[in-house]
A and B are shown apart, each in its own frame.
Chain A
Amino acid sequence: EPEVTQTPSHQVTQMGQEVILRCVPISNHLYFYWYRQILGQKVEFLVSFYNNEISEKSEIFDDQFSVERPDGSNFTLKIRSTKLEDSAMYFCATRLAANTGELFFGEGSRLTVL
């Protein structure tokens, strides 16, 4: 069964450092998402991406965050200057087409900011 792949599985970084989280979507999927989940809290939407541009973003997705799909395969989330409160699981998700609602999630990248 096709799956969404995320790397790294766990990253530890110092406050203020830049972090890039990577996602390899399912090959024929057109819609890409990043969600995060702070420990013990609910899964929160960050951003959605379609046709090489952001289609929707939440209040959490401020100027410290950016997304891109530089090579047509990897979908990346960059945090420019990490803060302690950025520590969370970050989930990438993809969707096949506009008329399908099923999102396929990766296993997540755990980010720990010290």
Chain B
Amino acid sequence: DAKTTQPTSMDCAEGRAANLPCNHSTISGNEYVYWYRQIHSQGPQYIIHGLKNNETNEMASLIITEDRKSSTLILPHATLRDTAVYYCIVRASGANNLFFGTGTRLTVIP
């Protein structure tokens, strides 16, 4: 199922922007990019999703390249509570399911 590639781990200083990249070079025209995160062993939490335009909500911003082959999740001011595993998932419009990869473990450092 691995339609996305993410770095295994990243560090970010508290208060700085965390930029998490994701490669999805085989993405199809009807597939969205979703981001979820999992804090410790809690249930995954939806962050944001987009098709081709950049998106922003209260949690994060999603920047999708023009060719849609990669994207970046931006947490503008990372806090210690943002330490989590971040999953980039490609999902077709109307698809029933989400399949998780291994994600990026983000550690926010004081």
Contact = CB atoms under 8 A, between A and B. Distances in A.
Contacts of B49: 101-102
Contacts of A25: none
B27 to A, nearest CB: 14
Interface stretch (B13-21, B62-70, B73-81, B92-100): B92-100
A89 interface: yes
B43 A101 contact: no
- The range of chain B's interface size is 20 to 34
B41 A89 contact: yes
- State the majority secondary structure of interface residues on B: loop
Interface string A57-92: 000000000000000000000000000000001010
Given A42-B102, A45-B97, A103-B98, A108 B34 contact: no
B24 to A, nearest CB: 15
Interface in B22-47: 32, 34, 38, 41-46
A97 B91 CA distance: 15
B91 A101 contact: yes
Contact of B100 (A42, A50, A104, A108): A42
A109 B98 CA distance: 20
Nearest to B87: A43
Interface residues of A, number: 27
A45 B42 contact: no
B43 A91 contact: yes
Contacts of A110: 41
Contact of B32 (A31, A42, A44, A101): A101
Contacts of B46: 102-104
20 contacts: A33-B97, A42-B100, A44-B100, A45-B99, A45-B100, A48-B96, A48-B97, A55-B96, A89-B41, A91-B43, A93-B43, A99-B94, A101-B32, A101-B91, A101-B98, A102-B49, A103-B44, A105-B43, A105-B44, A108-B41
Interface of B: 32, 34, 38, 41-46, 49, 87, 91, 93-103
